Amino acid sequence: MNSSVRYAKDHPNVQAMEKAASPMAGRSLWDDAKRRMMRNKAAMASLVVLGLVVLLAVFGPMFATHAYNDIFYDAYLAPPSDNFWFGADANGRDLFVRTLIGARVSLAVGFMATAVSLVIGVLWGATAGFFGGAVDNVMMRIVDVLYSLPFVFFVIILMVVFGTSLWIMFIAIGAIEWLTMARIVRGQTLTLKEKEFVEAARATGVTPMDIVRRHIVPNLLGPVVIYMTLIIPYAILAESFLSFLGLGVQEPLTSWGVLISEGAQNMETAPWLLFFPAGFMAITLFCFNFIGDGLRDALDPKDR
């Protein structure tokens, strides 16, 4: 009997079947999502392009020949040339360096505002959805009240009280974006809290807050990561809108919104002032959208 079992295990066909089955048995859902994501050419190309934009924003100004606030009086609205790759603005400043500085500021606002909305929204939505009842009603009514406040009005109040700064931009945009995050997380939590592993945790005496921290929040990563790729471009657009209205970044610092506002004023005489910052911004937003679509397809349980 033992010899027949040993012969069956040593048979070439059996060994081939075991090798083919072993990777499938050892691959987790996240490994499968990673493999599906890497097969998405548009998402992977967007990751590469976005990485290049981030590298240019972080390190590009360090190696530039001009500073973003250097003024060259003989380069008023100068067109693109060897000395000014993207041309010069109405004050004779290098548009290439200012576009990279604007990318640094806009991306920082996008990531920081997303971090604020992520922390507040996930904790708020997970707590409301898990406890339910009166706690859920009170917490979500607060969300509804904050939703009713106009975004620009809320930002103006913050800037009148605290002054204009980048930190106010982070707080203002993040304080609005966490509302939608909280609603999404709450809906997912209402489904997760009925799962067997949550019931098992309750039966073993795990405290409600530990259940939220250890079991609910980790299982929300899929929808949260996908929504994050949508919040970042929205935050960048919100910053650009505020800067376009003069409520955002102040001179001599700049952002894509400030550069687009200046370019719109000189669009007929110096179209490059609008073309380059708007092009960088459009490419970045497209990259985030393609990455979000790729993550949605990779993490969708219906396609596994």
Whether residue 187 is predicted with pLDDT greater than 70 in this model: the reply is yes
Structure tokens that stand for 83 in this block: 């000395």
If you average pLDDT over every residue of the chain, what do you get?
Answer: 78
The pLDDT value recorded for residue 30 is 63
Cα–Cα distance for residue pair 146/278, rounded to 1 Å: 32
Residue owning tokens 């069956």: 8
Q: Strand locations in the chain, DSSP E?
A: none
Query: From the CA atom positions of the chain, what is the Rg in Å?
Result: 26
Domains and CATH numbers, the chain: 1-29 (no CATH), 40-303 (1.10.3720.10)
Q: Is 12 helix (H, G, I), strand (E, B) or coil?
A: helix
The pLDDT value recorded for residue 235 is 80
The pLDDT value recorded for residue 166 is 72
Cα–Cα distance for residue pair 257/300, rounded to 1 Å: 34
Structure tokens that stand for 209 in this block: 């807050």
Stretch 221-247: mean pLDDT, rounded? 77
- Which of 24 and 169 is assigned the larger pLDDT? 169
The pLDDT value recorded for residue 271 is 87
Cα–Cα distance for residue pair 71/91, rounded to 1 Å: 6
Residue pLDDT, tens place only, 69-94 = 888 888 788 888 888 888 888 888 88
The pLDDT value recorded for residue 26 is 47
Share of the chain above pLDDT 90, in %: 4
Q: Is 88 helix (H, G, I), strand (E, B) or coil?
A: strand
Residue pLDDT, tens place only, 97-156 = 999 998 888 888 888 888 888 888 888 888 888 888 888 899 989 888 888 877 777 777
Instruction: For residue 228, name the pLDDT band (cuts at 50, 70, 90).
Output: confident
The pLDDT value recorded for residue 9 is 45
